[in-house]
Amino acid sequence: MTYTAPQIRRMIDALPRQRLIFSPTPLHRLNNLSADWGRDIYLKREDMSGPSPLSGNKMRKLEFVLGEAVHRGIKTVVTYGAYQSNSAMQVAAAANICGLKAILYLGDTKGEGKPEEPIGNLLLDTLLGAQIEYVPQHPQATATNLTPMWDHMIALCKQKVEALNAAGEPAAFLPLGAAHPWGYVSDVLNYLEITEQSAAMGFKPDYIFHANSSGGTLPGLIAAQLLLGEKDTQIISINIRSWAEGNVVTRQTCIERVRAIFERLNLLLPTDEAIVARMHIDENYMAPGYALPNPVAQETIALVLKREGVFLDPTYTGKGFSGLRDYVQKGRLPEGSRAVYIHSGGLMGLLAGGQMLEGII
Ligand SMILES: *Cc1c(COP(=O)(O)O)cnc(C)c1O
């Protein structure tokens, strides 16, 4: 059974929600790179979702995550991430709008020690007035395996939530990347926006690329394709961290999250085969590890600045877009094809400076 966009919107509009973003976020063509590459390349500007110019792809999810939290009488949200977590910063901003308290557990994923002065997202977290809890590097964590660190921070968050709830202060835990089941549905709307905006511009995307990490975005994109019965557009997920077995998020997690969207909308569940057929995970662009710069990605950031004046970031969007660029260079995107790249934000990662600027300046 498939549905029209208005039918899907009606189902989603019935869910608790806090309005946080400007939607639709812009979709525009990269004219210079399209000419250079012989393919039509578009950006979907989730980095400009609002409410401020320093934003990103978590705000869309938080409309529904915090919408549900407020609906349930939650007063405090507790989340975690790296020191420069984009997600934690957006949780802090969104919580302020909703009148909630935000507690952020921020971990030293690179063994750099506690920052002397807050910079980048950490500065914004401070300005936003969030409660920040620093978590030192975990002795068993490595650049390519942060699982012990994330597991430790999950445990800290959950303890905090339990303590708050026991004290009569309703609190909720928001997982890595604000990828909470309450919010997966938001990227169904992202997909509908892309469909409608591209149709209005006179094209249909052959590909949708994005930087894939905590897996809060992809389930919604896949669910939208299943709901619409869309088979021609291929979603290509350039992984920023591994989804192999044993990680916080895996391919199996993604399947379960797609099913969770259908459950949330009270719809008949799709088969695992139908979901997997729409999942294209590429783990070839995440070296040398999470939040560590990759030389080709850095060169891609410089190229996009030079040709289009658009800022990408070293942790996510630079690696994601360098995946798209490599697909073009290898001819994996046929000439004349149309690709939408979801720009998911991350600007503060670039502005935090240091090693993240290697190869760009
Ligand atoms: C979180 C994030 C992503 C990844 O999105 P997920 O929903 O976590 O997969 C990509 N880009 C940026 C800038 C992000 O902050």
Q: Residues 294-314: pLDDT tens digits?
A: 999 999 999 999 999 999 999
Stated pTM of the model: 0.98
Q: How far apart are CA 312 and CA 166, in angstroms?
A: 43
Same domain, 290 and 174: no
Cis peptide before 24 (omega within 30 of 0): yes
Q: Which ligand 1 atom minimizes the distance to the CA of 214? A: 8
Does 86 contact ligand 1 (Cβ within 6 A)?
Answer: yes
Question: Does any ligand 1 atom lie closer than 6 A to the CB of residue 233?
Answer: no
Give how far Cα 158 sits from Cα of 86, 105, 129, 161, Å: 21, 11, 21, 5
Query: Which residues make beta-bridge pairs with 172?
Result: 77
Cβ 187 vs Cβ 220: under 8 Å = yes
| 51 and 86 part of one domain | no
Is residue 67 within 6 Å of ligand 1 at its C-beta?
no
Cα 216 from Cα 18, distance rounded (Å): 18
Read off the tokens for 155.
């445990």
Q: What is the pLDDT of residue 306?
A: 98
Residue 197 Cα to ligand 1 middle (Å): 22
Asked if residue 156 has pLDDT above 90, the reply is: yes
217 Cβ inside 6 Å of ligand 1: yes
Cβ of residue 213 lying under 6 Å from some atom of ligand 1:
yes
Looking at residue 144, what is its pLDDT?
A: 82
**Mean pLDDT score, 13-31:** 98
- Mean pLDDT to the nearest integer, 17-38: 98
d(CA 55, CA 49): 6
Question: CB of 344 closer than 6 A to ligand 1?
Answer: yes
End of a domain among 178, 199, 216? 178
pLDDT at site 143: 81
Residues 214 and 347 in one domain: yes
CA of 87 to the centre of ligand 1 (A): 8
pLDDT (mean) for 84-89? 97
Measured in angstroms, how far is the CA atom of residue 166 from the centroid of ligand 1? 32
Ligand 1 site, residue 90, Cβ cutoff 6 A = no
| Other beta carbons within 10 Å of 113 | 10
Judgement on whether residues 68 and 169 belong to the same structural domain of the protein: yes
For residues 337-360, average pLDDT = 94
- Percent of the chain surpassing pLDDT 70: 100
For 298, the token pair is 């850095």
Whether residue 231 is found in the same domain as residue 290 = yes
- Model pLDDT, residue 353: 85
Instruction: Check whether 226 has a pLDDT greater than 90.
Output: yes
101-107, strands of its sheet edge to edge: 131-135, 101-107, 76-82, 171-174
Distance between Cα 56 and ligand 1 center (Å) = 8
Domain interval for residue 112: 58-178
What does the mean pLDDT of the chain come to? Answer: 97
The least confident of 189-193, 279-283, 351-355 is 351-355
Checking if the pLDDT of 54 tops 90, the result is yes
Q: Is the minimum distance from the CB of 121 to ligand 1 under 6 angstroms?
A: no
pLDDT for 95 equals 98
197 Cβ below 6 A of ligand 1: no
Q: How far is the CA of 213 from the centre of ligand 1 (A)?
A: 6
Strands 338-343 and 234-239: unpaired
Name which residue sits closest to atom 1 of ligand 1, judged by CA: 177
Q: What is the pLDDT of residues 160-216, one digit of tens each?
A: 999 999 999 999 999 999 999 999 999 999 999 999 999 999 999 999 999 999 999
Residues 213 and 315 in one domain: yes
Q: How close is the Cα of 225 to the center of ligand 1, in Å?
A: 20
Residue 340 φ then ψ, to 5°: -100, 125
Query: Angle, nearest 10°, between helix axes 186-200 and 218-228?
Result: 60
Which two tokens mark 162? 């339990």
* 51-65: average pLDDT: 97
Domains: count for the chain: 2
Same domain, 243 and 352: yes
Question: Pick from 125, 147, 178: which residue ends a domain?
Answer: 178
Q: b/e for 207-236, b at 16 or more Cβ within 10 A?
A: bbbbbbbbbbbbbbbbbbbbbbebeebbbb
- Domain of 41, CATH number, reads 3.40.50.1100
Residues 332 and 194 in one domain: yes
How remote is the CA of residue 168 from the centroid of ligand 1, in Å? Answer: 33
Residues 92-126: pLDDT tens digits? 999 999 999 999 999 999 999 999 999 999 999 99
pLDDT per position as a tens digit, 136-145: 999 999 888 8
For 162-177, letters b (16+ CB in 10 Å) and e give: eebeeeeeebbbbbbb
